[in-house]
Amino acid sequence: MKNTDFLKNSGQPWVVYRTLLDLEGLGENDHAVKKARAEMLSHPLIQDIIDELQDWPGIVLNSHKSAGQLYHKLSFLADLGITAEDKGMEKVVTKIKASVSKEGLFQLPTQIPEHFGGSGKEELAWALCDAPITLYSLSRLGLKDDPDVRRGLGFLLGLVRGNGWPCKVSENLGNFRGPGKKDDPCPYVNLIMLKLIALFDEHMDGIEARAGVESLLSLWDVSLERHPYMFFMGTDFRKLKAPFIWYDILHVADVLSQYPYARRDSRLRDMMDVIHSKADENCRYTPESVWTAWKGWDFAQKKEPSPWLTFLVFRIDNRLK
């Protein structure tokens, strides 16, 4: 196991909490884990996000890449281990569930211009580049067995094709589709679908998951030639970045490393070689790109090693041992 002193001495309780759980194998009832979790919940940066989430669903969605969107912030809290039972989260969950669609997907305020195939009006809708993230967040918050969540998961699984998941939106958004061939898989959708499915053991070895895994690994193989829906795997893709918002090498490697059959694949190992080449002499990692919406967090700067970013790499390495 890698030396975790840098992480445990970071002064960031979410890093300490996840390190104790994910790298050192301690349980939730361990005294040090309980202490770290309590400190995490009371930390101003965490409380600020919980306060923001009280205004769910937030502003009209005009770009899924916008890192300040509330559904991305919800996903980050879920990643950390915040649950629906934590103070302030019950109201958020209630608001999310009030927007459920007939398919079991949770909708966001969206506006698609008429010239892109939409109505031009603000309306509640879902797209495959947001619905899996909201389902993922609710599942991690403790709602895996919620009937709407299960219905939504079943609907999304049914959309897979031989080469993975395509670009698709709810019926009320008309014929809107991202910039690509309709038969192409959408790399980002496949990434977040695999992230969701990894929470459900019974589906991890299913044909849907295997199609998604192969889709992402195949795109790495032809990263210089194929860029479906304008998702490139070039210089920007290979920059280390947190938190997990978009389609980048660390996000892809983190998700794939949760699948036992992907762990053995040389293409994932190739990705890890790229990531490991960026370590400093102390085996720590410094962000190479940042989301400005996350100013104030240790991963929102490019001058020194980030404990959270370093933890994310260590966790992948721990899975691949």
Q: With bands split at pLDDT 50, 70 and 90, how would you rate the model's confidence at 219?
A: confident
Q: Residue 139 in contact with residue 84, Cβ under 8 Å?
A: no
User: What is the structure's pLDDT at 66?
Assistant: 75
Instruction: Tell whether the model's pLDDT for residue 229 goes beyond 60.
Output: no
Q: Can you say whether the dihedral through the CA atoms of 33, 321, 78, 309 is positive or negative?
A: positive
Whether domain 59-69+89-320 has CATH 1.50.10? yes
Q: Can you say whether the dihedral through the CA atoms of 115, 108, 200, 271 is positive or negative?
A: positive
Q: With bands split at pLDDT 50, 70 and 90, how would you rate the model's confidence at 235?
A: confident
Question: Which of 26-40, 46-60, 99-113 is predicted with the least confidence, judged by mean pLDDT?
Answer: 99-113
Q: Is 124 helix (H, G, I), strand (E, B) or coil?
A: strand
User: What is the structure's pLDDT at 123?
Assistant: 86
Q: Name the one residue in this structure whose structure tokens are 């709407």.
A: 148
- What integer best gives the mean pLDDT of the chain? 92
Question: Average of pLDDT values for 149-178?
Answer: 88
Output phi, psi for 94, to 5 deg: -60, -45
The DSSP call for residue 189 is: H
Q: Name the one residue in this structure whose structure tokens are 């499915």.
A: 197
pLDDT in tens, 165-204: 998 988 887 666 666 777 778 899 999 999 999 999 999 9
Start-to-end C-alpha separation, the chain: 9
User: What is the structure's pLDDT at 185?
Assistant: 81
